[in-house]
Amino acid sequence: MNFGATILGVDGVKLTKDEFTFFRDADPFGFILFSRNIDTPDQVYGLCSELRDAVGRNAIITIDQEGGRVQRLGAPHWQEWLPPLDFIQSAGDNAERAMYLRYRLIAYELTQLTIDSNCAPMLDVLVAATHDFLRNRCYGSSPYDISILGRAAANGMLDGGVVPVIKHLPGHGRAALDSHFALPHVDVSIEMLREADFVPFRALADLPMGMTAHVVYEAVDEEPATLSSEIMHLIREDIGFDGLIMTDDIGMKALTGGASQIVTRALGAGCDVILHCNASLSERIETATAAGKMNSKSQARAEAARASGSFLNNIDNTELRAELESLLA
């Protein structure tokens, strides 16, 4: 039986009876956790167990643990991190190794809770127009450097048994608006996109999962990338990404229309799985019903992504922290 073509959010720190029943029936590919789902390590571990019990399998559970402003796990139980851009600047010439260690340590914290995916690395290229909501989450303004640092971050997670999710395909850096609240438009040529924005994604196109950008690229299509078959063709053929494509949260205000309409358009454009993070139970039911089950290609990508996080390279966590501190000293 194919997975449901959704990754869904959860209301609180434990499942309600109605949520458990819904997840059992909908069988989503996976789940995503937010700060509202986080209290103590034992509680998060228990919530992850509840989610997997609901679907009767070892479903993938992801989170946004970039470090910095976008960090769902924080003090007092988990490490607080500098925003990526500040961290990279602090590391200087040691940035590549420091990024590996940062995300290897993040992977350690996640796997202690049985969270086995992370929505990172973020490969968006920083430019003058980049909106503040994204700016210090970027890894820099050089596509080449971003490729190296993104690979280091991804390898740190993979070595720690965590599936990375590259974002935001095919590049959110030129967006001057926050897509949580409005639909950004990018008006540069396709040639410029290929020469800069696409470069880090092309360099990491072998990774198992990617997330779309709710951004219109006017040189390609009038629809936002999440809903654009033209952009999906570029992601698959030009960038060369054949992994699982998940939407960014369809509840963000960059997208308009009802949940079922957005789901139908996104899947029709070529997305594999729908991410719905912050929604009522009735809205999540609407999303799961409209999404249905994955098609055969999406199912194969989902199974490959799931398997990619199964290897855990056990390393002394204390030694890793000491090495990272020495690099940042």
pTM: 0.96
How far apart are alpha carbons 66 and 137 in whole angstroms?
Answer: 8
For the annotated catalytic residues, the residue numbers are 180, 248
Q: What is the pLDDT along the chain (329 residues), one digit of tens a residue?
A: 899 999 999 999 999 999 999 999 999 999 999 999 999 999 999 999 999 999 999 999 999 999 999 999 999 999 999 999 999 999 999 999 999 999 999 999 999 999 999 999 999 999 999 999 999 999 999 999 999 999 999 999 999 999 999 999 999 999 999 999 999 999 999 999 999 999 999 999 999 999 999 999 999 999 999 999 999 999 999 999 999 999 999 999 999 999 999 999 999 999 999 999 999 999 999 999 999 999 999 999 999 999 997 666 677 889 999 999 999 97
Other beta carbons within 10 Å of 291: 26
How far apart are alpha carbons 328 and 99 in whole angstroms?
Answer: 11
Q: Give exposure, 52-82, as e/b (b: 16+ Cβ within 10 Å).
A: bebbeeebbbbbbbbbeebbbbeeeebeebb
CA distances from 98 to 113, 124, 325 (A): 23, 19, 9
Cβ atoms of 151 and 95 within 8 Å: the answer is no
Pairing assessment for the beta strands 70-71 and 65-67 based on DSSP bridges: antiparallel
Which one-letter amino acid corresponds to residue 193?
L
Domains of the chain: 84-328 (3.20.20.300)
Listed in sequence order, the residues at least 6 apart from 12 whose beta carbon sits closer than 8 Å to its beta carbon are 36, 37
